[in-house]
Amino acid sequence: MQKRILLFFVLVTTLAGCQRKEEAPVRSGNYFIAETSERKLSNMYICFVRVGHEEKGCPGCAQIAGDLVHIPCHSHGSKCQLSSRMILQECGTTLIATTTDTFGLTSEDFFLMPNRSLDYTDENNNRVYLNFPEQLVYRDTATKQFTFTGLFITNVPEYSNN
């Protein structure tokens, strides 16, 4: 049994390209987990978020070349499960998150992030929520990464995640 569990975690870390904490549950929804590595950087996380909605009935999510268009897997809704590696940093009284993978969220040069509360259970079994206010973020032209601002942590979810 232990060999099967070990094989499962080796397979997961090989496919994901990183090691996850063994106690991190495999699930869908809006959550984040600490990323562990030999460097043991405590501010690196993998964030999982459900976003997006059906094109039918969408009046347009973004204005491109003067036209409102639907962008798959952006904005409100929960049609798509996306993930991205991020570094969390304090910026005054709020947090900022910068992606470290280039196309984890989208291949577009922008991302329409809806209000989202991502849950997390720490090593002491405390549950907290990382709250992302709704925002339109653009890729940095040099690094090709996204930076989210105004994030904050609470003991209950701030947003309903719809």
Model confidence over 66-113: pLDDT tens digits?
A: 889 999 999 999 999 999 999 999 988 889 999 999 899 999 999 999
Residue 12 included in any domain = no
Q: 64 CB contacts (<8 Å, ≥6 apart)? A: none
Domain assignment present for residue 159? The answer is no
The length of the chain, given as a count of residues = 162
What pLDDT band is residue 122 in, cutting at 50, 70 and 90? confident
Asked if residue 62 belongs to a domain, the reply is: yes
- The reply to whether 139 falls in a domain is yes
Please state the domain count of the chain: 1
pLDDT digits (tens, 9 = 90+) for 142-161: 999 999 999 999 999 999 87
Quick one: how far is CA 44 from the chain centroid?
12
33, 83 in Cβ contact below 8 A? no
| 4 domain residue, yes or no | no
Q: Which domain holds residue 124?
A: 19-154
Please report which helix (H) or strand (E) contains residue 6, including its range: helix 2-16
Q: Is residue 14 part of a domain?
A: no
Verdict on whether the full-model pTM lies above 0.85: no
The answer to the question of residue 59 being in a domain is yes
Question: What is the rounded distance in angstroms from the CA atom of residue 114 to the CA atom of residue 162?
Answer: 9
Does 53 have pLDDT greater than 60?
yes
- Any domain includes 3: no
